[in-house]
Structures are given as structure tokens and as C-alpha cells.
């Protein structure tokens, strides 16, 4: 027996190993070329001819003035299927698990998993669900559901979900939910911002998409430069004040059995909006029902151009109304500033005045006899104010002042959807002389709440009208930018503003005592506006309002309360004035404004110390 020599045996072993290695390579080559994934490779080869892809950066975050997060991006996941990884068992189990976890119809899911996608050149599909009346929408899951599915995918004992992939995508989330919902606006599934700050600053928040070359093959993986995210915004809103306003507004609407309402708080010195509460509220996390209630589908939302239909969404900037008696502040400011009257100028109120052939009467139809200008404001006498505009000021001066107060012109507030309001001047073809009389007490003229706040804010701010704004700082990769407060104009002098402040402070101390707050001298004016309809003014409903500010020695806030269609009482002095008081009682605590007598003591102490 001839035994095999040692070298020969080694050569044989070597040959076997090499043959096995070559065989494995051949199998792998055949698998790649003709195996399950061959079409996938072929598809990518074709796609590789155009590997440039547009990537949208992360949307910027939004904070309140104290750093509370108002809008952020949280992950959601699309459910995708790697078609060639599906097995008969995994088809059934994916459909079963998803239908139970997400409460979706099993049949619909299973049908999507059994379509021969390869025959139409699709090797990776995104699962979708039916949406009533609209096209199919991709199914998305949150982090909790995604974690559960991932655990299933990793657990060999769990249902077989082979082929299921979780593809992350950012979703806009608003941790404050309804709180300041109207201020925020919302972002749709495509990442476009609508309404509020999201709509106004959409381009800045979204950032600039960048084009990158995708490296789908690991060998070609490159370190692409990450695109810069959109800017972060810090708002002027104070979330604690916002919470307080919304709470008070909800109660006020309930107590008055009203339809809706708004409370706006602004710092008249800077134009910073500190709080803006609107009821009914909008939850930007779930905006679809809100749109549905207003007859706008999400598909229609995409087709909206510019700011149309904004009035439906944000009444603080888009909802114009006839302001009623709160407008008298501007008429009186004009008369005092023009020097046609003094605070103690006497007017004999006979209970009616005729302007342009239209007889104007007081709110109670009565004659109030001899009154000073202070009395005219305190008792809110339409006849007196119509006398001021028609006989003392005249159309030209009166409308010049209204223009200086920005009536009929948008304020430029940085919230999407602002409208300009309506003011007919003598140059308008439909203007009549009667308008001169009715405009004086806020009829036949429309303003938005923000517009009224800005214009009356001039009276509270030494005659200087500031632009209302909602963004305090813009923070980008280059650092923080703090927009400076913008002066819109100086419609009246400081002296006029001081005189009017005193008159309206006396008014609150007197007839409008329901708005007064112990320890604080405040100024303000009630308003009870009729609602115009196609057949004249609505006989049943009114808009009750109150605009006031304080403390009179150095106004640090101006508050506008508007309650729409109250059932309990039509009058602003009954419905809106107490709401103003409730707001101010909390506001002075939050803004750390001491009562007047303590302020005087503190000033005295400080001057002694210095």
C-alpha cells in the first residue's frame, strides 16, 4: 500500500478549501445577479445615474419669551415594505399586527402586501390607509408604536414581520396643544406652515433645502455636509400670561353664554404681544377637525393661495368688526390733539344730532344735558362724539387722524393673514356725510382686534404708535437677531395722550367701575358694537368689548377684551369690563407691577437710597 506523501495531502486540502471558496463566490455572484434582490440592484443601477437628491433641513423650533418650547419636531415613522423580503407568513402577520396596533382594516393591509409590486417595478412600497373623501394617506406611527414594532423585528419568538421597515420622518408637535394654538398656526404633512407664526415665518423656519449626492452603495458612502436647519424663534408671548388669558376667556364665554371671544395683551411701549387668547381654540397638533368645521379640506388647504381664508382661522388679525364705542377713544384723541376742544369743553346733549341726513341718538336714546368731554367719554355719548367729528373736526381732519392711527391699513404684525379693515373716506365713491357722524362712535368702520390695540396703544404710550409683533428674537447659525420695536407713527402729542389718559381713568373710576382694580389707576373704554348684516344691523346680537391699559402713570400693558354675541347682556360694560378687571388683577402680579401707592413709596425709598 502506497501512502500519500504529506505535501500531496496538504495540496489536496488546499485545493478543497480554494474550491469551496470559489464555489461560495460563484454562488454569491449568481445570487446577486439572478437572486431575489437582482431587480433591486438593477433598479439602483438605473437610479444611480441621477443620485442627486433634495434634502429639507429640520424645521426651526419655537419658544415663548421664557424658553418654554412651543413647537418642536418629533419623530414619526412611515411603514415601508421591502417587497422581496416578504414571506407568506410575514404578509399575514404584518397585516395582523398593524391592524390590531393601529386599528386599521386587516383586509386593506393584506391586500397591499399581496400585490405583485415587482411586476410594476416597485421593490419598496409605503403602506397607506384610506381617508374618507380623499386620496389614500401614508400610514404613520409614533415613537411608542415604532419601538414596539422594532422589538418585534428583533425578537425571533415574536410574529414574523420580515420585510417591514420603519422609515423616520420629522413631525411637527406643539407641546402646549390648544394654548396659543392660533398664534402658532400649524404645519401640514408636507411640512408647509399655515397661519399664525408658522405661516408668516414659513420660509425662515423651513430653512433652505440642499441638494446632496446620495451614496446608496456602502462603498461610496460619503460624509455629506449636513444642511443647516431652519431658524429658531423666540416669541414675545409669555406662556403663563397666555394660560391665564385662555382660562379667563373660557370662563367669560361660558358665563355670558357667548359664541366666541378674544383677549389680547400688548406692551404699548414696545408693541410686544404678551398674550393672545382666542376661543374657540385651535389645537395645531390636530388641525384637521378645525378645518373640517370651517368647510376646508386638507386638499383645499394646499390650494390656498396667499392669505385667503385667513379670516376664518385667526380672528385676532383677520376678523374685522365694527368696534363701536371703543373707537370713541380715537375720535376724542383727534379732537383734543387738533385743539378743537379741551377736556372741560362743554357740550349740551339734546339726545340727538343730524349728520348727513341721518339722525344719531345715544345708546339709551336719552338726552344727557350739559356734559364736559370727560362726561361724554364716561357716559359714552354717541351724539357728543358725532358732534366732534362733524362740527368740530370736519371730514378732512377727522379722516387724517384716523389714517394716522392706521385705520384702514394693516399693522404689519408678523402673524399670517392680517387684513386691513375697512374705512370709507370722502374719496371713496360710497362715502356719505352720514359716515362722518357714525364713524365717530365706531359704526360703519371695521377694524381688526390687533389694529384697534395698536391704534389705542398710542394713547397709552405718550402718543407713539408701536407696531404689534410676536417674534422677539430670531436665532440662526450666525447667532441671535433681536428685531427692534418699530414705531408706526405719532398720531397725537404726548400732552393729548396724557389728557385722554386722565379722562379715561376718571371714566373707569366712575361709570365703568366694573373694570377697576383696587390699588391701580387704569384707563379704558367700553364698547358695545352692533353687528352689520345684509339687511342692516342685527337686532339681537352685539359684540361686547373693553379696551384698557395701566398703570396710568406708566402704562405697561394694554388689554383688549372682545366677547361675541353674549346672551347674558349685550353691553360691553357688563360683559367685557369685568373680564378686563379679572385679567388685570392677575396681570399685575405676573408682571410684578406694584399698586400705585406702593410704587410711590418705592420710588421715594429708591431716591432716598441714591
User: CA 119 → CA 12, 92, 136, distances in Å?
Assistant: 47, 21, 22
CB-CB contact of 298 with 188 (8 Å): yes
Phi, psi of 442 (to 5 degrees): 80, 25
Contacts of 280 (CB under 8 A, 6+ apart): 260
Nearest-approach distance from CB 223 to other proteins, in angstroms: 7
**Running DSSP on this structure, what letter comes out for residue 415?**
S
Rounded to whole angstroms, how far apart are CA atoms 213 and 488?
48
* Region 455-474 residues binding other proteins, contact defined as CB under 8 A: 472-473
Nearest-approach distance from CB 98 to other proteins, in angstroms: 18
**Is 1 a binder of other proteins (CB under 8 A)?**
no
Residue 609, number of CB atoms within 10 A of its CB: 6
Would you say 135 or 606 has its CB closer to other proteins? Answer: 606
β-strand partners of 366: none
**Is 123 a binder of other proteins (CB under 8 A)?**
yes
Among 207-215, 384-392, 442-450, 457-465, the segment contacting other proteins (CB under 8 A)? 207-215
Among 130-138, 159-167, 381-389, 430-438, the segment contacting other proteins (CB under 8 A)? 159-167
Among 267-275, 364-372, 426-434, 593-601, the segment contacting other proteins (CB under 8 A)? 593-601
Site string for other proteins, 334-353 (x = CB under 8 A): --------------------
Rounded to whole angstroms, how far apart are CA atoms 126 and 148?
19
Rounded to whole angstroms, how far apart are CA atoms 21 and 186?
59
Measure the CA dihedral 444/537/311/282, to 10°: 130
Would you say 137 or 216 has its CB closer to other proteins? Answer: 216
Would you say 78 or 110 has its CB closer to other proteins? Answer: 78
Considering only CA atoms, which of 510, 518, 575 is closest in space to residue 551? 518
Would you say 170 or 510 has its CB closer to other proteins? Answer: 170
Cβ burial, residue 58 (10 Å; 0-12/13-18/19+)? middle
**Is 82 a binder of other proteins (CB under 8 A)?**
yes
Rounded to whole angstroms, how far apart are CA atoms 128 and 108?
9
Among 11, 17, 23, 24, binds other proteins (CB under 8 A): 24
Would you say 107 or 251 has its CB closer to other proteins? Answer: 251
* Region 482-541 residues binding other proteins, contact defined as CB under 8 A: 517-519
Phi, psi of 288 (to 5 degrees): -60, -45
**Is 596 a binder of other proteins (CB under 8 A)?**
no
β-strand partners of 77: 141, 168
Rounded to whole angstroms, how far apart are CA atoms 15 and 33?
26
**Is 13 a binder of other proteins (CB under 8 A)?**
no
**Is 14 a binder of other proteins (CB under 8 A)?**
no
**Is 119 a binder of other proteins (CB under 8 A)?**
no
Nearest-approach distance from CB 186 to other proteins, in angstroms: 16
Would you say 162 or 352 has its CB closer to other proteins? Answer: 162
Rounded to whole angstroms, how far apart are CA atoms 87 and 68?
48
* Region 386-445 residues binding other proteins, contact defined as CB under 8 A: none
Residues that contact other proteins, how many (by CB under 8 A): 93
* Region 216-245 residues binding other proteins, contact defined as CB under 8 A: 216-221, 223-234, 239-240, 242-243
Among 168, 289, 369, 426, binds other proteins (CB under 8 A): 168
Nearest-approach distance from CB 243 to other proteins, in angstroms: 4
Amino acid at each position: 500500500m502506497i501512502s500519500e506523501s504529506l505535501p500531496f495531502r496538504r495540496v489536496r486540502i488546499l485545493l478543497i478549501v480554494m474550491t469551496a471558496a470559489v464555489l461560495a463566490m460563484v454562488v454569491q455572484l449568481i445570487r446577486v445577479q439572478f437572486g431575489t434582490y437582482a431587480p433591486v440592484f438593477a433598479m439602483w443601477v438605473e437610479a444611480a445615474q441621477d443620485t442627486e437628491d433634495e434634502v429639507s433641513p429640520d424645521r426651526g423650533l419655537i419658544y415663548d419669551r421664557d424658553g418654554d418650547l412651543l413647537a418642536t419636531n418629533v419623530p414619526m415613522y412611515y411603514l415601508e415594505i421591502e417587497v422581496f423580503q416578504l414571506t407568506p407568513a410575514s404578509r399575514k402577520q404584518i397585516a395582523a399586527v398593524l391592524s390590531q396596533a393601529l386599528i386599521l382594516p386587516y383586509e386593506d393591509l393584506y391586500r397591499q402586501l399581496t400585490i405583485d409590486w415587482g411586476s410594476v417595478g416597485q421593490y419598496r412600497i409605503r403602506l397607506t390607509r384610506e381617508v374618507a373623501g380623499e386620496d389614500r394617506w401614508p400610514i404613520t406611527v409614533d415613537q411608542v408604536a415604532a419601538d414596539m414594532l422594532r422589538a418585534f423585528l428583533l425578537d425571533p419568538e415574536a410574529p414574523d414581520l420580515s420585510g417591514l421597515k420603519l422609515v423616520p420622518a420629522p413631525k411637527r408637535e406643539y407641546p402646549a396643544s390648544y394654548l396659543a394654538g392660533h398664534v402658532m398656526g400649524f404645519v401640514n404633512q408636507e411640512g408647509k406652515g399655515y397661519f399664525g407664526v408658522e405661516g408668516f415665518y414659513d420660509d425662515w423656519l423651513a430653512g433652505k433645502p440642499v441638494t446632496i449626492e446620495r451614496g446608496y452603495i456602502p462603498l461610496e458612502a460619503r460624509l455629506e455636509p449636513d444642511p443647516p436647519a431652519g431658524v429658531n424663534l423666540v416669541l414675545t408671548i409669555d406662556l403663563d400670561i397666555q394660560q391665564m388669558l385662555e382660562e379667563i376667556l373660557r370662563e367669560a364665554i361660558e358665563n355670558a353664554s357667548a359664541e366666541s371671544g378674544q383677549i389680547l395683551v400688548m406692551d404699548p411701549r414696545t408693541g410686544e404681544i404678551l398674550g393672545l387668547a382666542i376661543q374657540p381654540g385651535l389645537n395645531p397638533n390636530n388641525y384637521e377637525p378645525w378645518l373640517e368645521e370651517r368647510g376646508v379640506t386638507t386638499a383645499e388647504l394646499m390650494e390656498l393661495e396667499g392669505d385667503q381664508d385667513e379670516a376664518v382661522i385667526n380672528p385676532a388679525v383677520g376678523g374685522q368688526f365694527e368696534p363701536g364705542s371703543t373707537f370713541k377713544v380715537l375720535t376724542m384723541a383727534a379732537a383734543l390733539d387738533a385743539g378743537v376742544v379741551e377736556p372741560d369743553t362743554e357740550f349740551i346733549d339734546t339726545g340727538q344730532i343730524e349728520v348727513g341726513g341721518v339722525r344719531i341718538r345715544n345708546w339709551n336714546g336719552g338726552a344727557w344735558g350739559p356734559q364736559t368731554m370727560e362726561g361724554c367719554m364716561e357716559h359714552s355719548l354717541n351724539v357728543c362724539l358725532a358732534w366732534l367729528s362733524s362740527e368740530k373736526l370736519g371730514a378732512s381732519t377727522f379722516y387724517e387722524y384716523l389714517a394716522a392711527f392706521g385705520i384702514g391699513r394693516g399693522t404689519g404684525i408678523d402673524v399670517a393673514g392680517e387684513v386691513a379693515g375697512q374705512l370709507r373716506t370722502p374719496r371713496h365713491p360710497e362715502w356719505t356725510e352720514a359716515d362722518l357722524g357714525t364713524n365717530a362712535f365706531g359704526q360703519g368702520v371695521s377694524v381688526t382686534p390687533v389694529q384697534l390695540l395698536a391704534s389705542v396703544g398710542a394713547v397709552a404710550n405718550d402718543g407713539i404708535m408701536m407696531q404689534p409683533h410676536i417674534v422677539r428674537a430670531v436665532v440662526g447659525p450666525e447667532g441671535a437677531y433681536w428685531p427692534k420695536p418699530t414705531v408706526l407713527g405719532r398720531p397725537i402729542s404726548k400732552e393729548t395722550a396724557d389728557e385722554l389718559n386722565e379722562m379715561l381713568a376718571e371714566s373707569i373710576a366712575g361709570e365703568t367701575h366694573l373694570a377697576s382694580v383696587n390699588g391701580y389707576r387704569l384707563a379704558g373704554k367700553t364698547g358695545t358694537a352692533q353687528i352689520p348684516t345684509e339687511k342692516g344691523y342685527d337686532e339681537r346680537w352685539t359684540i361686547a368689548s373693553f379696551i384698557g391699559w395701566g398703570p396710568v402713570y406708566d402704562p405697561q400693558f394694554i388689554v383688549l377684551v372682545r366677547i361675541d354675541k353674549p346672551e347674558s347682556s349685550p353691553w360691553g360694560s357688563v360683559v367685557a369690563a369685568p373680564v378686563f378687571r379679572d385679567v388685570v388683577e392677575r396681570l399685575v402680579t405676573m408682571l410684578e407691577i406694584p399698586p400705585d401707592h406702593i410704587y410711590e413709596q418705592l420710588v421715594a425709598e429708591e431716591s432716598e437710597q441714591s
